[in-house]
Structure 1
């Protein structure tokens, strides 16, 4: 009602300004007295015109281009009414008066709303929210800036974009800066959070941006597209800044030796569609190999990684070859190695989910042990230059079948390394990879998105953590430093408690942890350790066996090995057990050959006969 009355009241004021501007005097009373019928008619129809154009329903704080068009429409209709009245009554008023009246009414109504909004905000004492920078000055970024302006909690202060054509422009009222300018703004306290709004970019590109921005020491969040929000595919802002959860500095693994080791080579990645495998493939693009062979058992995973690789590979003139197959199939492996003239193999194909492999011992042994042996023998026969196995810290004093099978796969390679003249076999061990499939990050994100509870198996469980790019780069570096039979480990700092990561993620998502004083928060529930799960993990049994490499954060370990006779006996036993699908026999063999294997104290011993 206030806005309706105000717009009606502006009609005679706008008409007065029209006469002042037309006749060039501040008091055009003579001409006003001659035109008073036009004034009365315009004032009489103004309530209907204002309501018809729905001017009172334009919210002050969301006045935009569409609102301005509605005000302009009302001004135009009133001007037409004034012109028709002058003509019908033969008043003889100058024809410019209605036009000047329309412009005056529009200016008074539009800018009056702007000034009213500013005054109300000043009276209300609106506090400045958290200053945020929006990474991405495209459509999603513009939509986001418009939405954030309505929130008192945050205040968009600028755009950041890598496109040089945007640099220095003002888009949606915000200036576009470079990454260097963003760094200075963070250092000066002008930006406290960065929101990444590039929904068209793939996860690899987003991860690289997050990794680069992680050095700034501000909170980083990635937004889904508005289409995803509307369709229900995404419920909230997704926190994807693993660096904020690591509890240590990011490891710099960008060394020239990496690119040099793979440039111009034909490299095959097994398990190419997995979390580590797909990142390996994308990082290999930066090394300019001649060919990247994607070897994957899952058709859908192979389709996805091939599609993600095509554009980048084409721009660098790198051949990408997608091949379906299992590492357990010797004929298929031989065919691919020969046809694609493979020189380097990065072996990331493995079953890695601890509870699942604990209940599927036969398939775990078939893929992780016998599959590795099959691939390694094929590599040696084909004269492959380097073979790098992606292993895990769960292979050290394993308490589960998954970890034990990975340790036994290491033993297979160590045995072959001692009898291989050309192929250099190496292994890379690292801890949990944040953001990979089956890791705590996507699980906790999903639980937080649904309002909890967030489940933790034990309050004292600790793990070593690293990011997907760190893990993948370590594998590539291992290939560069390989001498044969090496076990490489990364200095990942101190292990972190899973429950601390859960609480940290809840807080970074904008929520709070449930407590007696905060019953509305997200609850953290302890569910109990799962079969085969340790309270803590280790990278080595004996740290004294470590030696240095050219990179200070990467260490080479000397590990105990089985003799050739013992290795053959072990493999023969697993072949028979897998062929007979004998899970009990596989557990016996694991107990016999996996050094340090034991059933954790929190479990009831499995019956072994």
Structure 2
């Protein structure tokens, strides 16, 4: 017989004994002593009490009072005890009333005051036995040692979410957290108690409280707060030296059984504090719904998120093209699982292969094309510039021309801020792609062309954040190329949503520039990530400056000086003034680049003739430092 079954039997015997004791005590209280009980009430008294005890015990069984885990009992469980004892008493009263109406049992009498007093003692005895067990459990040496091994934790948010987190932590013995108090932005709560824990104050008291209470972890439980509010709390929390975790937003918690299981480490995305993108769903539905949509590079970071966003708008078919089969397979399985009704086709192919593209377009007849396929790693393309031309430039040219050849309605190029005044081969190749889009739009027979330009995407393949995380987990050092290097950042979902939105505006080769917010120092990102891990930069984790990589500049731009910036109807999407160059002339210049594939230096020189703004990193970085 296992321990739990033994405990349940012991609890049952205690309850039966408690019911008996409660009944006899009720009689003693009412009549002072047993001899004072009126003779007419003593007829079959023991049998009557036994029946009442039996009815109460059965009531507890029916209400599953022995299926609860009482070592974590709280106010909810106390209410359950009161309700169960009340129902048991009511059933007893009803049963006695029914019996007393029968002539042969009219002598059985139990005063209602006895039953009421017994009820109150039932609650005290039944509830008391359970809460004494809880008290014993929490003060036992084993439990004390268990709590000592856990992280002393502050819960930021003394509301419904914070209470939910506290209860679940107390219920789950395996949790790493040991809550010692709350913090909350509502300063009127300061000094009050919530479920026995103090509310210490708000953001301004966080560092002082963390030091005084020796806090090792902070859980931010503000699922309904705005991004800016959450960002302010995170910024305060990361200065405490504690490990910071966060509860997702309200809509991420829907239909989830456990909030504690959804607690996650704070990410850099949370520190950006960027509000959610509000989409014009009517516009998007107008050009995506019931259309065949092709996403090249659909297995990559941006491409796969584009596929997720597009799938929500119910295209008649979604076609994913990617040269890397593992990525393509991953997004295929995910979409099949999350969108079982989606008509999905996955094609393994290269955008370099013109004949393969023509066959694909002939077979699937796409109406909308999002072109995300590209080589994007700056240092790798510096070492292999011919590959950047083959894949980024010629691959894009293939997709542009084939789209027009097969009557695609809309073509959207995914571009980058590195295309603006490029200092590296990758950026220059993407600028040529933009120029091809702008130029071809004027000769197209009906396809509407556009490009979307944005900066670094947090968490994308090759981005600096995953690298920093791996380095922190390994104990450091965290490598930063230069203490002054800055970049624009946005999240993958935000970038993809804005690309889909901007796609609805594309017509004549426009370049749409996404609002990237304020630029961020990479050094600051590294230090924030270290602090959010509960460590101290330059103390627990070394930060090592490795020097700028080939082709890397200290800052990125979203516009060239000759490009104007106009507004669109969407607050986070702007439009750069189109720059036209006859397509025939541009195509000829681009075609000549192939002559220099055997000489990297000559190829870079030829690219500078196509992209006059292509400069060396030294020129750009020197100007930046002087400014």
State the match for 1:3 in structure 2.
Answer: none
Aligned partner of residue 586 in structure 1, secondary structure: helix
2:568, 2:515 → 1: CA distance? 12
The structure-2 alpha-carbon separation of the partners of 1:302 and 1:143, relative to structure 1 and needing over 3 Å to count, comes to farther
State the match for 1:129 in structure 2.
Answer: 154
Deviations 1:522-543 (A, max 9, x none): 2222211111111000011127
Q: Report deviation, 1:64.
A: 7.0
The structure-2 alpha-carbon separation of the partners of 1:412 and 1:252, relative to structure 1 and needing over 3 Å to count, comes to same
Aligned partner of residue 151 in structure 1, secondary structure: strand
State the match for 1:431 in structure 2.
Answer: 455
State the match for 2:7 in structure 1.
Answer: none
Query: Is residue 211–residue 241 contact of structure 1 (8 Å, CA) maintained in 2?
Result: no
The structure-2 alpha-carbon separation of the partners of 1:603 and 1:360, relative to structure 1 and needing over 3 Å to count, comes to farther
State the match for 2:424 in structure 1.
Answer: 400
Q: Give 1:192-591 correspondences, 5 Å limit.
A: 193-194=219-220, 214=227, 217=230, 219=234, 221=246, 238-240=265-267, 242=269, 244-246=270-272, 248-314=274-340, 317-514=341-538, 519=539, 521-542=540-561, 545-578=564-597, 581-591=598-608
Q: Report deviation, 1:568.
A: 2.6
User: Gaps (5+ residues) in structure 1?
Assistant: 1-9, 29-61, 66-103, 158-173, 175-184, 197-209, 224-235, 605-609
The structure-2 alpha-carbon separation of the partners of 1:525 and 1:154, relative to structure 1 and needing over 3 Å to count, comes to farther
Check if 1:114 corresponds to 2:134.
yes
Deviations 1:243-272 (A, max 9, x none): x33265444345431222211110000000
The structure-2 alpha-carbon separation of the partners of 1:213 and 1:260, relative to structure 1 and needing over 3 Å to count, comes to farther
Q: Report deviation, 1:589.
A: 1.5
2:413, 2:323 → 1: CA distance? 17
Aligned partner of residue 548 in structure 2, secondary structure: coil
The structure-2 alpha-carbon separation of the partners of 1:106 and 1:551, relative to structure 1 and needing over 3 Å to count, comes to closer
1:440, 1:149 → 2: CA distance? 29
The structure-2 alpha-carbon separation of the partners of 1:457 and 1:143, relative to structure 1 and needing over 3 Å to count, comes to farther
Q: Report deviation, 1:603.
A: 11
Q: Report deviation, 1:431.
A: 0.5
1:303, 1:602 → 2: CA distance? 43
1:211, 1:394 → 2: CA distance? 36
Query: Is residue 370–residue 411 contact of structure 2 (8 Å, CA) maintained in 1?
Result: yes
1:490, 1:510 → 2: CA distance? 34
Q: Report deviation, 1:392.
A: 0.3
Query: Is residue 409–residue 446 contact of structure 2 (8 Å, CA) maintained in 1?
Result: yes
1:304, 1:222 → 2: CA distance? 27
The structure-2 alpha-carbon separation of the partners of 1:495 and 1:543, relative to structure 1 and needing over 3 Å to count, comes to farther
Q: Report deviation, 1:496.
A: 1.4
The two structures, once aligned, show a CA RMSD in angstroms of 4.6
2:21, 2:307 → 1: CA distance? 73
Deviations 1:35-89 (A, max 9, x none): xxxxxxxxxxxxxxxxxxxxxxxxxxx9579xxxxxxxxxxxxxxxxxxxxxxxx
TM-score by length of 2: 0.64
Query: Is residue 370–residue 575 contact of structure 1 (8 Å, CA) maintained in 2?
Result: no
Query: Is residue 513–residue 524 contact of structure 1 (8 Å, CA) maintained in 2?
Result: yes
2:570, 2:433 → 1: CA distance? 26
Q: Report deviation, 1:150.
A: 5.3
Size of the aligned set, in residue pairs, is 461
